[in-house]
Amino acid sequence: MPVNDRSFPIAHPRPARGWVNDPNGLLLHEGRWHLYFQHNLESAEHHRIVWGHLSSADLAHWREEPVALEPQDGGDDEFGCWSGVSTLDDDGHPAFVYSGVLDPEGRSTALVVHRDPETLGYTGARIPAARMPEDPEVIAMRDPFVFTFAGRRWVIQGAGLANGSGALLLFDATDLDSWSYEGRLLDAKDPALDGALHASIWECPQLVPADDGESWILLISRWILRPDGGADLLDTVWAVGTLEERSAEGRPPLAFVPNTSGRLDAGDSFYAPQALALPGRNLLWGWARESRPQEEADQAGWSGVLTWPREVSVRDGRVHTEPARECSQLRTGEVAVPSSRWTELPDATDIEAAASHMVVALAEGDRRRVVWEGTADRVVIDASLLEVFPATGMPVTLRAYPADGERWTVFSDGDVRAWELGPSMP
């Protein structure tokens, strides 16, 4: 943790310095959790991205591991190892599948890197499994996601189309090292979406089976091209629907049929989550972006936090998320929070509020700066990060930076229990 930096997270793991964005490569392997992420070790800016690596035995306490992937000079990922996933190859060994970016224009190739079963390290070979399809309407492609359906391995990638809208590209990945392009699994023209997925590019697509045993959950992060040539990372949207085989000639062999859709998080800092499908359980992590000027991040020497892992379920056709139960292991001493009075909190605090109305503020003396107000079951404060989980409705992920002399405070009109949180890393 940087010295005297009260904005640096305590209970959310990340390296002490550098840039962090999308969570990648989520994997539970041989009893250990592996969390990879987009990372620049050299500065607090997005540039020549590598894959950082954290691992954990209990999903709460983490250790930093050596960098897992870094760009190769002259290779398809010379400009950066962008987002992707972990999967298992035909021999049951882990492999990385990711977007290798060649140049500043973002031209990408889906690359596969296998793990060496003897050394347990990842081989240096970057296998180009899929390049841009020969479809004149597809002008951008990135962020492969691997899933299994009907006994076969498939991959989806996010895409941008020449008409300014997003799409999902489908690949048959029966051969993990060489995919076959099968067309578009979904695009924004689907009337069931009712405009919910309007974007210039659909980024970081995730497609996992829901806990009801029938539906599938699709997650899309929306990248919007501005008129001035810049881009906005808008939000992440979910759709719940069915995944179906079809045999019509000239059409993709799979179809995702959406039934309901909505935003995954109502905060302005949440983006690019990655989901991990496990037997009887789905988890996801998100990227909590900074909301301070880049100059302040540069001065601090770091940027970006990964959220706590969240349990993902479907309730009444809508996606619901809440903190993974293992995160409670970070609780230390309980903090008394009397009803109907302001209470000062530690910089890292986990609050259970039983749907009480609360106000969370940064305060110095009698001056208060309200960060969030509303009704929630759970509120997690960690230095400059706030994760709010209502009983119903969307979570809210926010960033707020304590000034010198400010302390986190809470006011509640109901019963509240709170615990100070210990560090997630040594």
Cβ 20 vs Cβ 14: under 8 Å: yes
Give pLDDT tens digits for 133-167: 999 999 999 999 999 999 999 999 999 999 999 99
CA gap 113, 389 in Å, rounded: 37
- For residue 102, how many C-alpha atoms fall within 13 Å in the half-sphere facing its CB? 13
Degrees to nearest 5, angle at CA 236 with 257 and 233: 130
Cβ 321 vs Cβ 310: under 8 Å: yes
Q: Which alpha helices (H) appear in 208-363, and where do they start and end?
A: 294-300
**Short-list 32, 43, 34, CA closest to 13:** 34
* Terminal Cα distance for the chain, rounded: 9
Torsion angle of the four alpha carbons 121, 123, 127, 132, in this order, in degrees rounded to the nearest 10:
50
Which CATH number does the domain 328-421 belong to among 1.10.10.1400, 3.40.50.300, 2.60.120.560, 3.40.630.10?
2.60.120.560
CA gap 50, 52 in Å, rounded: 6
Percent of the chain scoring above 70 in pLDDT: 99
Of 39-43, 305-309, 356-360, least confident by mean pLDDT is 356-360
CATH superfamily assigned to domain 18-324:
Glycosyl hydrolase domain; family 43 (2.115.10.20)
Of 57-61, 105-109, 168-172, 337-341, least confident by mean pLDDT is 105-109
Percent of the chain scoring above 90 in pLDDT: 90
The full length of the chain comes to: 426
Domain boundaries along the sequence of the chain: 18-324, 328-421
Judged against a pLDDT cut of 80, whether residue 248 lies above it is answered with no
CA gap 185, 31 in Å, rounded: 34
Phi, psi angles (nearest 5°) of residue 330: -80, -10
Degrees to nearest 5, angle at CA 107 with 148 and 88: 25
| Strand locations in 212-292 (E) | 216-225, 231-245, 254-263, 270-278, 281-288
Query: What does the pLDDT read at residue 393?
Result: 84
Distant-in-sequence, close-in-space partners of 129: CB < 8 Å, separation ≥ 6: 97, 110, 111, 112, 155, 173, 176, 177, 178, 179
